[in-house]
Chains A and B, each alone.
Chain A
Amino acid sequence: MMQGIHHNFDQQQAPAFFARGPSPLARLAFFTALSLALMATDSRLQYLANVRENLITLLHPLQVIANTPSQVYRSTSEYFSTHHYLLNENERLKKQALKQDIALQRLNLLALENANLRNLLQANKTLVETSTLGEIMHVGRDPFTKKIVVNRGENHNIVTGAAVVDATGVIGQVTRTYPSSSEVTLITDKSLAIPVQIERNGLRAIAFGHGRDNTLDLPYLPANVDIRRGDKLVTSGIDGVYPAGLAVATVSEMRTTPDSPFARIVCIPTGGIENHRQVLLVSIPHTESETNDGNANSEKNKLSSAVKSSTGNPIPANNPSANPVQDQSKKTNQGIVEKNPQKPLPNNQSNPHAPE
């Protein structure tokens, strides 16, 4: 019997109550050091971007599973939506389509006219951009940042920096891409700045996200600046990232205090950041051609036409003659034009202010 007990003890080595491995303090020190090292690496160096991408890819099936219940709920509620509601919506959409058709016809005309005028002035061609429709998968989980995750990623040619717009205005910018999804930082995030222009007087400024409530700030503008309540802000396009003329925000508050040389301007974003499911991801605009120097010019032209043929949706360049471009690139340009004779700005539906 004694032997039996001994045997038991040998097998277990120590009673389970005491078998705890390294002390909690040692573990704490080890894992804290590890976390701190990770934080430093991730925030200062770029080594972990790849790791993150791969892990997110691993996580994607889980994400799909987690999204299933809400999707099932949505599709069933859509299925059971009332006849009346659908009729109303249909009516509304038809009216909207009619209005936009008219605006679109005028836009085509203006785009042609604009191209001609630019040609006469020998100015640079307008910027072109392509766009992809995406759906919001979920809102960012970190309460400290304003982010959304969209179901389009590197596999759909989305690159970081692409502007994200919905039917009413700019909502953000792609800041991280994964193979089949991408992370969009909203314009209300504290770390995002967007170059804007006051629609009324063309004044340029930079709008910063406020971070806490869904507003934007226009800091560093003098107290006597010509901005009023209700002024509309549109993207200025001088950054070369956002297409020009997209609605961004409306000024809701303009206050000056005697002790500060700067005005305090608060704006409310136009885009329904929390309302829509579908968003448009607009690629970074690139010029059709440059006018001044011939050599660098033809290089760029080739490049841009190559990009266009790979991504589709070019803009009409019905006057490739203003500058001394090489024959070859001219041909490619025209070829593309013939394929898509009527395609002004790809994002024209989302953007009533586009023509300038």
Chain B
Amino acid sequence: MRLSKLKSIYLSLLVAFVCLLFPWSGLALTLRPDFMLLVIIFWLLRAPNQCSVGTAWFMGLWVDLATGGIFGQYALAYTVTTFFAVIYQRRLVLFNSTQQLVYVFSLLFMSQLILLILKVFSGKEFLGWSYFLPSITGVLVWQIAVTFGLNTGRHSRGQ
């Protein structure tokens, strides 16, 4: 059972990565949610033993590679974000769906904020408030997934 779960974790991470690799452009690029982080947060809630800070860091490296930025920027952003997801994991599982949504939003926002700070330090310029739109679309994707019956760990207490 554990092995099959591990398999589905890696498979979903791979799918999220391919989603990232799609040739997004224009408006779609500004709105594109961070699929990778969403999948990581989902597995942090569902399977905190198999997917943890290390997994997030490792996937962050691949995202760094795909975006062509300096190695370690996404990795650091994901690491810090997942740390906050992990320490509140037990409480998060008890949250109702609205609370969970707010928490997921703050996690997505936090990762973007960390990334922004890192990018600004490396000499880039702030792009305006539309930079934070992916957090909102990310939460929408999360809500859609929950509406369509994705179990985000709220009912898995009995396991």
Contact = CB atoms under 8 A, between A and B. Distances in A.
A28 B73 contact: no
B124 interface: yes
B95 interface: no
B21 interface: yes
A144 B61 CA distance: 18
A223 interface: no
A347 B67 CA distance: 31
B145 interface: no
Q: Is chain A's binding surface mostly helix, strand, loop or mixed? A: helix
A140 B68 contact: yes
A38 interface: yes
B125 A66 contact: no
A112 B3 CA distance: 73
B25 A62 contact: no
B159 to A, nearest CB: 9
Interface in A179-215: 183, 190-191, 211-212
A2 interface: no
A137 B66 CA distance: 13
Nearest to A141: B67
A258 interface: no
Contact of A138 (B25, B118, B124): B25
Given A39-B76, A59-B65, A190 B125 contact: yes
A21 interface: yes
Contacts of B54: 27, 31
B22 A66 contact: yes
10 contacts: A31-B54, A39-B118, A63-B21, A65-B21, A70-B22, A70-B23, A141-B20, A141-B29, A145-B124, A211-B124
Given A31-B75, A42-B72, A183-B68, 9 more contacts: A20-B48, A24-B83, A34-B72, A36-B76, A37-B72, A55-B65, A65-B21, A66-B18, A142-B68
